Chains A and B, each alone.
Chain A
Amino acid sequence: MNILVCISRVPDTATKVVIGSDGNSIDSQGVKFIVNPYDELAIEEGLRLREKNGGVVTAVTIGTDKSTDVLRTALAMGVDKVILVKGEENPDSFYVAENLAAVAKDENPDLILLGRQSVDFDSLQIPSALGEILGMPSISVVSKLTIEDGKVTAERDIEGGCEIVEASLPCIISAQKGLNEPRYPKLPDIMKSRSKPIDQRDAAAAASRTSIIGMEIPLKQRAGKILTDSDDDINELVRMLHEDAKVI
Chain B
Amino acid sequence: MSDSVIRAQSLTRSIGGRTVLRDFTVDVPAGQVIGLVGKNGAGKSTLFDLLLGFALPTSGQSSVFGVDSKALTAAAKARIGFVPQSDELVGLLTGTQQLGLIASLHPGWDPSLIDRLSREWEVPLDRRINTLSGGERQKLSTLCALGHKPDLLVLDEPAASLDPVARRRFMQEILAIAGDFTRTLLYASHIVGDLERVASHIWVLRQGSLVWQGELDQLKESIVRVHVRADHDLDRNLRLPNQLQGRVQGRTADFTVSDWTDAQLAPLRADLNAQVEVEPLELEEIFLALHA
Whether chain B is bound by chain A comes out as: no
